[in-house]
């Protein structure tokens, strides 16, 4: 099946602040095909977490969606009422956050919490508990049954993240949103969690939206990547394409900056000069133009089009020739 689990079209949203509106996301179009892991990569302020919260409809009160649709399960999430949305969260779309210590309830045992999230199910409490234990087992928790009565503080950071993932998967959601789930972990644990997500995906035919600033983690797990810069999708495509033939100057610079990819040791690491633009006043032209090393006059004046580079690879840049392959 080649359907899209998540289909975001032309999504724009802004935050009202005392200094005026901040245009945090602008005309985002992206999709998560069924059974695929789609990475969203971007630096601080690129809007990647805002995007995740928009899908979950958990944006703070000062956010206003100004255009677009978030297609999921044949409908538009943005048109659902709060009751319908609540029924969806945790059941059909689940989310795992960066810090499991703050996303888990510290005063309830993990077993209680994992039963709580099944509150819509009609199964008996004993059955729900069995389901919780099974989910814990699936994420590699040793002796899962007896762990149910322990509290979050009794687990290590890596185990807590496994619990958060187990909890997200109890209801077998159609879409899992993983927001920087490996960022707070040590590198050996990060490798374990990435491996776990890969295994689970085979297990549940799950579609995952994997949000990270870590190019290495994205490269290890994703099938497709969406590169976000200052609230816009500047490039997206299959993982191998993006990493071996990046077309947008921002993607190229980002990959070039990763010290893990620079094989010879150097004391002069590449950087992207300048700062992320202020999104209160979005200038005409390309959003990356002020920091772009190859910008031409047109880039400051005119918004670049989305250029098709073939094989589902699209870059928003004037310098990508039209009708490439």
Partner 1 sequence: MSLLEIRDLNVRYAIAGRVKAAVAGLANRYIDAVIDVSFEVAAGSTLAMVGESGSGKSTLARAIVGLTPFASGSIVFDGSNPFATGPHPSRAYHRDVAMMFQDPVSSLSPRRTVEALVGEPFVIHGLGNRNLGAEVRRLLALVGLPADFAGRYPHQLSGGQARRVGVARAIALNPKLIIADEPTAGLDVSVQGEILNLLARLQAELGLTYIVITHNLAVVRHASDRTAIMYMGRIVEAGPTAEIFAAALHPYTAALIAAQPNPDPAHRRSGPVLTGEVTSLRNRPRGCEFHPRCARAADDCRELVPAAIGRGPGHTVRCHHPLA
- Which of residues 59 and 191 has its CB atom nearest to partner 1 in the complex? 191
Is the CB of residue 253 less than 8 Å from the CB of residue 263? Answer: no
CA geometry: angle at 107 spanning 190 and 116, to 5°?
80
Among 77, 159, 314, 317, binds partner 1 (CB under 8 A): 159
Q: What is the DSSP string of 231-259?
A: TEEEEEEEHHHHHHS--SHHHHHHHHH-G
- Nearer residue to partner 1 within complex by CB, 174 or 223: 223
Q: Looking at beta carbons only, is 172 or 252 nearer to partner 1?
A: 252
> Of residues 59, 243, 245, 282, which one binds partner 1 by CB under 8 A?
243
The SS3 assignment for 76 reads strand
Shortest Å distance, C-beta 64 to partner 1 = 25
Compute the distance between CA of residue 265 and CA of residue 259 in angstroms, rounded to an integer: 9
Q: How many CB atoms lie within 10 A of CB 105?
A: 13
Given the complex with partner 1, which of 142 and 321 has the nearer CB atom? 142
What is the three-class DSSP state of 114?
Answer: helix
Site string for partner 1, 244-263 (x = CB under 8 A): x--------xxx-xxxxxx-
Number of residues that bind partner 1 (CB under 8 A): 45
Q: Closest CB to partner 1 among 83 and 268?
A: 268
Place of tokens 């089009």: 305
> What are phi and psi for residue 90, nearest 5 degrees?
85, -25
Least Å from the CB of residue 58 to partner 1? 23
Strands 75-76 and 306-308, sheet pairing: unpaired
Q: Min. distance of Cβ 244 from partner 1 in angstroms?
A: 7
Tokens 């509106």 belong to residue: 21
Give residues 38-67 in contact with partner 1 (rule: CB under 8 A). Answer: 43-44
Residues in region 204-233 near partner 1 by CB under 8 A: 213-217, 219-220, 222
Q: Which H or E run includes 115?
A: helix 110-116
Residue among 270 and 305 whose Cβ is closer to partner 1: 270
Rounded to the nearest whole angstrom, what is the least distance from the CB of residue 259 to partner 1 in the complex? 4
Sheet holding 314-316, edge to edge: 93-96, 175-179, 207-212, 37-41, 224-229, 232-238, 314-316, 306-308
Stretch in the footprint of partner 1 (CB under 8 A) among 3-11, 100-108, 238-246, 298-306: 238-246
At its nearest, how many Å lie between partner 1 and the CB of residue 7?
A: 24
Closest by CA to 180, choosing from 218, 224, 212, 227, is 212
The tally of CA atoms less than 13 A away on the side-chain side of residue 264 is 2
Largest alpha-carbon pair distance within the chain? 68
Write out the binding residues for partner 1, residues 267-306 only, by CB under 8 A: 267-272, 275
Say if strands 175-179 and 4-15 run parallel, antiparallel, or are unpaired.
unpaired
- What residues between 1 and 40 interact with partner 1 by CB under 8 A? none
- Of 1-9, 117-125, 131-139, 240-248, the window that binds partner 1 (rule: CB under 8 A) is 240-248
Least distance in Å: CB of 158 to partner 1?
6
Find the shortest distance in angstroms from Cβ 13 to partner 1: 22
Q: Which of residues 56-115 bind partner 1 (CB under 8 A)?
A: none
- Interacting residues with partner 1 (CB under 8 A): 43-44, 156-159, 186-192, 194-195, 213-217, 219-220, 222, 239-240, 243-244, 253-255, 257-262, 265-272, 275
């Amino acid at each position: 099946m080649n359907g899209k689990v998540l289909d975001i079209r032309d999504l724009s949203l802004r935050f009202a602040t005392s200094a005026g509106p901040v245009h945090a996301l602008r005309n985002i179009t992206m999709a998560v095909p069924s059974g695929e892991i789609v990475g969203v990569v971007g630096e601080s302020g690129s809007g990647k977490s805002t995007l995740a919260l928009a899908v979950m409809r958990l944006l703070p009160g000062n956010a206003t969606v100004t255009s677009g649709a978030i297609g999921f399960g044949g409908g538009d999430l943005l048109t659902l009422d709060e009751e319908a949305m609540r029924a969806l969260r945790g059941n059909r779309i689940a989310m795992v956050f960066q810090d499991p210590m703050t996303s888990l309830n510290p005063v309830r045992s993990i077993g209680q919490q994992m039963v709580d999230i099944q509150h819509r199910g009609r199964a008996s409490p004993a059955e729900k508990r069995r389901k919780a234990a099974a989910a814990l087992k699936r994420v590699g928790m040793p002796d899962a049954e007896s762990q149910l009565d322990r509290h979050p503080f009794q687990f290590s950071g890596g185990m807590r993240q496994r619990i958060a993932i187990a909890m997200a998967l109890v209801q077998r959601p159609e879409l899992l949103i993983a927001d920087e789930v490996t960022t707070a972990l040590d590198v050996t644990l990060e490798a374990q969690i990435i491996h776990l997500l890969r295994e689970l995906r085979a297990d549940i035919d799950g579609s995952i939206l994997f949000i990270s600033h870590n190019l290495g983690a994205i490269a290890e797990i994703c099938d497709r990547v969406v590169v976000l810069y200052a609230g816009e999708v500047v490039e997206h495509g299959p993982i191998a394409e993006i990493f071996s033939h990046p077309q947008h100057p921002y993607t190229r610079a980002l990959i070039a900056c990763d010290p893990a990819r620079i094989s010879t040791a150097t004391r002069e690491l590449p950087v992207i000069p300048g700062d992320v633009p202020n999104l209160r006043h979005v200038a005409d032209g390309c959003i990356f133009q002020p920091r772009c090393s190859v910008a031409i006059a047109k880039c400051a004046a005119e918004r670049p089009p989305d250029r098709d580079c073939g094989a589902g690879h699209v870059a928003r840049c004037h310098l990508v020739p039209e009708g490439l392959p």
